[in-house]
Chain A
Amino acid sequence: DIVLTQAPLSVSVTPGESASISCRSSKSLLSSKGITSLYWYLQKPGKSPQLLIYRMSNLASGVPDRFSGSGSETDFTLKISKVETEDVGVYYCAQFLEYPPGTFGGGTKLELK
């Protein structure tokens, strides 16, 4: 199975500053159709997860453009510019290239200073 490793485990950010979260895959997530099957989700405290980014760099519906995704075939970054209080929670990357099973990273907790 593909393993996704996120870093850091937690990050503390001053509101208005930027934050970056890394996700590294044990295998390339680039499909034969040229699609990179890497997704980002945010789980706010006490809530269900919500999709932020699909196919590595595409913003999901309703997600502020402060969020952006980038990367290569195996190394990915979620960047949050000008962090706001509503961005607090746990961020997960996930892959659906090799499916089943879909796999998630271990999560990165974002807190405010």
Chain B
Amino acid sequence: EVQLVESGGGLVQPGRSLKLSCAASGFTFSDYAMAWVRQAPKKGLEWVATIIYDGSSTYYRDSVKGRFTISRDNAKSTLYLQMDSLRSEDTATYYCARRGTLDYWGQGVMVTVSS
């Protein structure tokens, strides 16, 4: 059974950093691209970033480019999202998902950016 479990969320002040993790199990992690998608409170879904299977290529939405870094450790079957220079508009539930086309999703982790 595919399982994706996010962690690392919380309350953080504007301008500070936070690092999310996503532990994967039930499939061969190193065979798949992985992605982060977010959902602001009471809003729709917004793709954030994708990393290909071996980590050699990454893609970001414009609003997070230069502030967020997606990475992976295939030996640990874990996906990461380093979020720097956080803004209030980054407040959202962050989901990790398998494949660029998001066939399995984690349960999500809440990130609140507020002073």
7 A-B pairs whose Cβ atoms sit less than 8 Å apart in the complex: A48-B95, A48-B105, A96-B100, A100-B59, A101-B47, A104-B46, A104-B47
Partner-contacting stretch, out of A11-19, A20-28, A49-57, A67-75: A49-57
| B100 pairs with A102, CB closer than 8 A | yes
User: Complex formed: what's the CA distance from A105 to B43 in Å?
Assistant: 11
Q: In the complex, which residues of chain A have a beta carbon less than 8 angstroms from the beta carbon of B61? A: 100-101
| B102 pairs with A94, CB closer than 8 A | yes
User: Complex formed: what's the CA distance from A83 to B34 in Å?
Assistant: 32
**Also in contact, A92 and B44, with CB within 8 A (given A54-B101, A100-B59, A100-B61):** yes
Checking B44, B100, B104 against A107 with a beta-carbon cut-off of 8 angstroms, the contacting residue is B44
| B105 pairs with A49, CB closer than 8 A | yes
| B59 pairs with A99, CB closer than 8 A | yes
Cβ contacts A82-113/B at 8 Å (1 or 0 each): 00000000001010100111111111000000
Q: Identify the A interface with B (CB < 8 A).
A: 39, 41, 43, 48-51, 54, 60, 92, 94, 96, 99-107
Q: In the complex, which residues of chain A have a beta carbon less than 8 angstroms from the beta carbon of B59? A: 99-101
State whether the Cβ of B53 lies closer than 8 Å to any Cβ in chain A. Answer: no
User: Complex formed: what's the CA distance from A47 to B13 in Å?
Assistant: 27
Q: Identify the B interface with A (CB < 8 A).
A: 35, 37, 44-47, 50, 59-62, 95, 100-108
| B104 pairs with A51, CB closer than 8 A | yes
| A48 pairs with B107, CB closer than 8 A | yes
User: Complex formed: what's the CA distance from A39 to B104 in Å?
Assistant: 13
| A39 pairs with B102, CB closer than 8 A | yes
- Write the chain A residue with the least CB distance to B93: A48
Q: In the complex, which residues of chain B have a beta carbon less than 8 angstroms from the beta carbon of A101? A: 47, 59, 61-62
| A51 pairs with B50, CB closer than 8 A | no
In whole Å, how far is B35's beta carbon from the nearest beta carbon of chain A? 8
Q: In the complex, which residues of chain B have a beta carbon less than 8 angstroms from the beta carbon of A50? A: 105
User: Complex formed: what's the CA distance from A96 to B35 in Å?
Assistant: 12
| B44 pairs with A103, CB closer than 8 A | no
Q: In the complex, which residues of chain B have a beta carbon less than 8 angstroms from the beta carbon of A39? A: 101-102
Checking A49, A51, A96, A99 against B45 with a beta-carbon cut-off of 8 angstroms, the contacting residue is A49
- Write the chain A residue with the least CB distance to B106: A48
